Amino acid sequence: MSPELLNQSAVILIFSVNAILLMALIALKVIHRRRMKRHEGRRKEYLGLLSRHMSFENHTEPITEPIAEDPAFLDALIDMRNAITGDDITTLRRIVNHHGIIERQMRHLDSSWLLGRRLRAAVALAELGDETSADMLIRHLDDREPEIRIQCARGLGRIRWTPAIDQIVSRFGKEIPWVSTRFSDTLVGYGTRATWPLLAYIRINHRFETEGAVLALRTLAQIQDDEAVGPLLGILAETSDLEVQIATVYALGEVGSPQALNALDSLLDSGEWALRAKAAGALGGLGDAAAIPRLVNSMRDENWWVRRSAAAAVARLPGGTDALYRALDDDDQFAADAAAEALTDIGELVSARRRADEGSRIEPLLAHMRSEG
Amino acid sequence: MALEILEWIGYATIGYFVAMQVYMLFLAVVSAAALRRNHHLRRFGRVGEMLSSRTTPPVSIVIAAYNEAAGIVDAVRSMSIVRYPRFEIVVVNDGSRDDTLQVVVDAFGLEEVRIPYRPDLDCAPVKTIYRGRSGVDITVIDKENRGRADALNAGINAARHPYVFCTDADVVLDPDCLVHSMQRVVEDRARTVGVGGNVRPLNGSRVQLGHLIEASVPKRVVPRMQILEYIRNFLASRPGWSWMNAVPIVSGAFGIWKKSVIVEVGGLTEGHMGEDMDLTMRVHRHLLDKGVPYRIVYEPAAVLWTEVPDSLRVLRRQRIRWHRGLMRAVSDFRGMTFNPRYRQMGMVIWPGFVLFEYLAPIVEFIGWFVVPAAWFLGALNTTALIWLLLIALGMGLLNSLLALLLDESFGYFNSAADTSRLIAMAVIENFGLRQMTVLWRIRALLGGEDTKAWGNMERRGVGNLARQE
C-alpha cells in the first residue's frame, strides 16, 4: 500500500468516525431530548389519570395494556406511591396488581441483561413491591450489581418483611462498605424489630468479622432500643477489640440509658485515648448530671481530643454550662481552653453578645479569651 | 544527510502524534464505559439515601480566599445550600488587601472567638478566628498572606471533620456535589483517601445569589475554548484514570481528602505552581511506599462551576503557571516514572502524563518546523502535507466530539445553539488557539522571572459573569 493511499484511508476513516460522532451528538440532542420530553409529558398525564382513579371510586377511564407497559406509567406509579397515604395506597396497589406491574418488573429484574432496565425494575419493586415480590427481593440480595442489592434490601424494608432481617444482617460482614451501609439504613427503618438479630450477629461475629460487627453496633446506635443496653454491656465486657469497644461505647451513648453510666465511667481511665474520648462523648449522651465531675476531670486529660470530647459532653448535660464556666478558672490551662471552646461551640459567646449582657455571665469567658490573646 | 535527519525527525514526530492520539483515545473509551455505568446509577436516586443516613461522614469545606471581596459571599452562599447532612465551612482569608474579611463577617453575622487552634500543618500565623452559629456552621480564619497552599493548610488545621473539601472562593457548587462525591467515600471508606470532582467553567452561565440558574456557552472565544478543554479533560480522561486507580491530579478547585492522610504527607506545598498535582502525587507515592491499600477516585456527577480566564493575557499567565507546576512535578516524581513499584500509576498514567502533557509542546513545536521544512526541501509533497494536516485536524476533532458526546449525558447545555458553538469551537481551536497554548507552554519551559509569578486572576465575581457576557 502506497503512503498516499494509507494517508487517504486514514483521513477517510477518521472523518467517517467524526461524522458518526457528530450524528450521534445531534441525534442525542434532538431525538433523545424530544423522547425525554415526551416521556415527561406522558408521566404527567398518567399522574392525572391515577389521581382520577384515586379520587373517584367508580372511575372507568381505561388503563390500557400499552399504558401499563409504558416506563412513564411506572415512573408515575412510583411518584404517586410516594405522595399518598392510607386507603389510597390500597387503590394504587389494586391498579398495580390488576395490570401485572409487579410480575413484569420481576421478570425484568430476573432476565434482562440491560443494566438500566434491571435497575429500573429493582427501584420499582422497592417502591411498589408487596409480599409476592419478597422472595425475589431476598434472592437478589446476592445480585451481581451492588445498586440492585441495595434496592432489594430497601424494598424488603419498605414492606417491613421481618424474615428478611436475618438475611440482611448476615450479609454485613461480606458486603462492600457502600452496600452494607445502605443495608444498615434499611435495618434502622425496621426499628426495634432488628435489635435482637443485630445483637445475635454481634455476639457471634465480633471476634471474626470486626467490620460487620462495628456496622451492626452503629445500626443499633441509631435504633436506640433500651433493650439493647444489657447485651451491649455484655459485649463491652467481653471484647478486647478496640474498634468494637469504641462502637459499643458509641451505641451505649446513643441509646442513652443511665444503666451504662458505671461502665462508661470506668472507661475514662482506659489506656486508649480513643476509648477515653468516646466514653466521654457517650456520657454526654446519657443525660445524667452525675457524670459531670468525672468529665470535668477528663478535661485535664493528656490527649486534646479527650479534653475536647469531655468538654463537649459536659455542655450537653443539665447544669453543664455552669460547670464549664467554673472550669474556665481551672488551674489546668488545657482544661480551661477546652471549656472555652465548648462554650463557644454551643454559642454562648454569640448569644450573650446578641443579648447585650456581656457584663454578666459571659465576662469570665471573655476574660479567658483576652488572656489568651 | 540533512534530508535523512529531517525525515527521521518527521517519522518520530508522526509516531509520537499517533501514540498520543491512541493513548487519549484509550482513555476516552475507558472513560465512556465508566460514564455509561455512572449515568445509569445517577438515574436511580442514591442521593436521598445518603442524605437521610446518619452514617454519612461529615465534611469540612475549606475555602482559600485572597482579595475575593467581589465573589466570596456568593461562593459561601452556594456552599451553604449544598444538600448534605453534616458539614462546616472554613473560610481562610489569606491576608487579603481588599475587604474580603469584612464582607464575609458582615454577611454571615460572625463573631470573633478565640479557641484553641492546632497547627498539624505548618502555615503562617493565624491572627483571628471568627465563628457564627446562625444557620450555617461557618468559621473564618484570618491569617497573614503566604499563598493559596498555606491558606488551605491553615483551613485544614481548623477543620473539625475527618474529610476536607478544598476549594476556591470563585466557585459555585452544584447542590448535590458533596453527596455525589462523598458517596464514593462511603462506597469504600477504608480505602478512599481522595475524591476529585467535575470542574466546569461558569463564564456565560446565569448565576443568582450563589445559585446556578442556567448553564450556557459564552460567545467570547477564550472562555468558550476553555469549556471545551474542561469537558475533554474532565470527561474523556479522568474517569479513565479513576477506573485504573491512578488519578494523577485531583483538581485544586474540587478535591476531597481524608484529613489524616493530608496531615501525614505534610499538607500542600507552598509556592508550588501545581500544588494540586503535587499533593495528589505525594499521596500516591506515600501510600504506595507504605504498601497501604488505597484509592483516589474521580466522580463526574459531582459538579462545581468556576470562573475561568476571560482574556488571552490572563489565560497565558494561567497556562504558563500550570506548565511550570507540571515541570516541577515531573522533576519531583521522576523516580515514579516507569517504576513498577508504583504499579499502574508508575507504569502507565504518570509516564503518559510526562510524555503527552509535559513533552507535547516540544514535539508539536518541532513539528511546526520539520513539516514545512520537509515540504520545502521536497521530502514531503503538497498532497501528503494536506493529508497529514487533515489527519491532525480529524484526530483533534475526534477527541472533542467524543468528549461532547459524553457530556450530553449530563444535559447541562440545553439549547442547540450552545452545542453548535462548542462543535464550531472544536474546529476553530485548531487554527491558532491550540498553537498559542503550545507557545505559552514553551515559554514556561524556557523559564525566566516573569514565568515564576503566580499572577492575579482578575475576578469579576461569580454573580457578575453572565451579566457582562
B114 and chain A: CB distance < 8 Å anywhere?
yes
Query: Is residue B304 in some structural domain?
Result: yes
- The domain in which residue B268 lies consists of 1-44+170-469
Residues of chain A in contact with residue B189, where contact means CB-CB under 8 angstroms, are: 177
Q: Which amino acid is at B85?
A: P
pLDDT at B372: 83
* Interface contact B398-A154, CB threshold 8 A: no
Query: Could you count the other beta carbons within 10 Å of the beta carbon of residue A115?
Result: 16
Residues of chain A in contact with residue B383, where contact means CB-CB under 8 angstroms, are: 4
pLDDT-derived band at B468 (thresholds 50, 70, 90) equals very low
Q: Which helix or strand (DSSP H or E) is residue A169 part of?
A: helix A164-170
Which of A250-254, A268-272, B105-109 comes out lowest in average pLDDT?
B105-109
Distance from the A58 Cα atom to the nearest Cα atom in chain B, whole angstroms: 34
CB of A187 within 8 A of CB of A199? no
- B92 alpha carbon, distance to own chain's centre: 20
Average pLDDT for residues A8-37, to the nearest whole number? 89
A12 has pLDDT over 80 = yes
- Residue B336: which of B324, B344, B325 has the closest Cα? B344
Phi and psi torsions of A64, nearest 5°: -75, 170
Query: Is residue B408 in some structural domain?
Result: yes
pLDDT at B84: 92
pLDDT tens readout for residues A301-353: 999 889 999 999 999 999 999 999 999 888 888 899 899 889 888 877 666 55
Higher model confidence: residue B51 or residue A279? A279
pLDDT tens readout for residues B15-25: 888 889 888 88
* Interface contact A182-B116, CB threshold 8 A: no
Average pLDDT for residues B26-44, to the nearest whole number? 84
Residues of chain A in contact with residue B132, where contact means CB-CB under 8 angstroms, are: 350
Average pLDDT for residues B83-93, to the nearest whole number? 93
Higher model confidence: residue B369 or residue B178? B178
Query: Between residues 183 and 212 of chain B, which touch chain A (CB distance below 8 Å)?
Result: 183, 186-190
CB of B277 within 8 A of CB of B253? no
pLDDT > 90: percent of chain B: 54
Provide the grid cell at B69: 471581596
pLDDT at A65: 82
Average pLDDT for residues B283-306, to the nearest whole number? 95
Provide the grid cell at A368: 479567658
Let me know the angle formed at the C-alpha of B116 by B111 and B120, rounded to the nearest 5 degrees: 120
Query: Environment class of residue A211 by beta-carbon count within 10 Å: exposed (0-12), middle (13-18) or buried (19+)?
Result: middle
B466 has pLDDT over 60 = no
**In whole angstroms, what is the distance from residue B155 CA to residue B51 CA?**
25
Rg of the Cα trace of chain B? 23
Q: Which residues contact B189 (CB under 8 A, 6 or more apart)?
A: A177, B57
**In whole angstroms, what is the distance from residue A288 CA to residue A253 CA?**
11
B40 and chain A: CB distance < 8 Å anywhere?
yes
CB of A368 within 8 A of CB of A328? yes
Q: What is the mean pLDDT of chain B?
A: 88
pLDDT-derived band at B223 (thresholds 50, 70, 90) equals very high
Sort residue B270 into left (φ over 0), alpha (ψ -120 to 50) or beta.
beta
Residues of chain B in contact with residue A338, where contact means CB-CB under 8 angstroms, are: 116
Show me where the domains of chain A are located.
65-161
pLDDT at B456: 56
* Interface contact A29-B37, CB threshold 8 A: no
Three-state secondary structure call for residue A314: helix
Query: Is residue B93 in some structural domain?
Result: no
B423 and chain A: CB distance < 8 Å anywhere?
yes
* Interface contact B115-A123, CB threshold 8 A: no
Average pLDDT for residues A234-263, to the nearest whole number? 94
**What DSSP character marks residue B358?**
I
pLDDT-derived band at B467 (thresholds 50, 70, 90) equals very low
Residues of chain B in contact with residue A115, where contact means CB-CB under 8 angstroms, are: 37, 40
A65-161 — its CATH code?
Answer: 1.25.10.10
**In whole angstroms, what is the distance from residue A233 CA to residue A317 CA?**
22
Q: What is the mean pLDDT of chain A?
A: 89
pLDDT at B377: 82
pLDDT at B453: 63
B459 has pLDDT over 60 = no
**In whole angstroms, what is the distance from residue B238 CA to residue B87 CA?**
26
pLDDT > 90: percent of chain A: 62
- B449 alpha carbon, distance to own chain's centre: 25
Higher model confidence: residue B10 or residue B359? B359
pTM for the structure as a whole: 0.83
Query: Between residues 305 and 364 of chain A, which touch chain B (CB distance below 8 Å)?
Result: 337-338, 340-341, 344, 347, 349-351, 353
CB of B275 within 8 A of CB of B148? yes
Query: Is residue B25 in some structural domain?
Result: yes
- Residue B124: which of B89, B104, B148 has the closest Cα? B148
pLDDT-derived band at B74 (thresholds 50, 70, 90) equals confident
pLDDT tens readout for residues B238-252: 999 999 999 999 999
- Residue A227: which of A197, A206, A266 has the closest Cα? A197
Q: Closest chain A residue to B55 measured between Cα atoms? A: A181
pLDDT at B234: 94
Torsion angle of the four alpha carbons B95, B101, B103, B105, in this order, in degrees rounded to the nearest 10: 170
Rg of the Cα trace of chain A? 30
CB of B245 within 8 A of CB of B412? no
B37 and chain A: CB distance < 8 Å anywhere?
yes
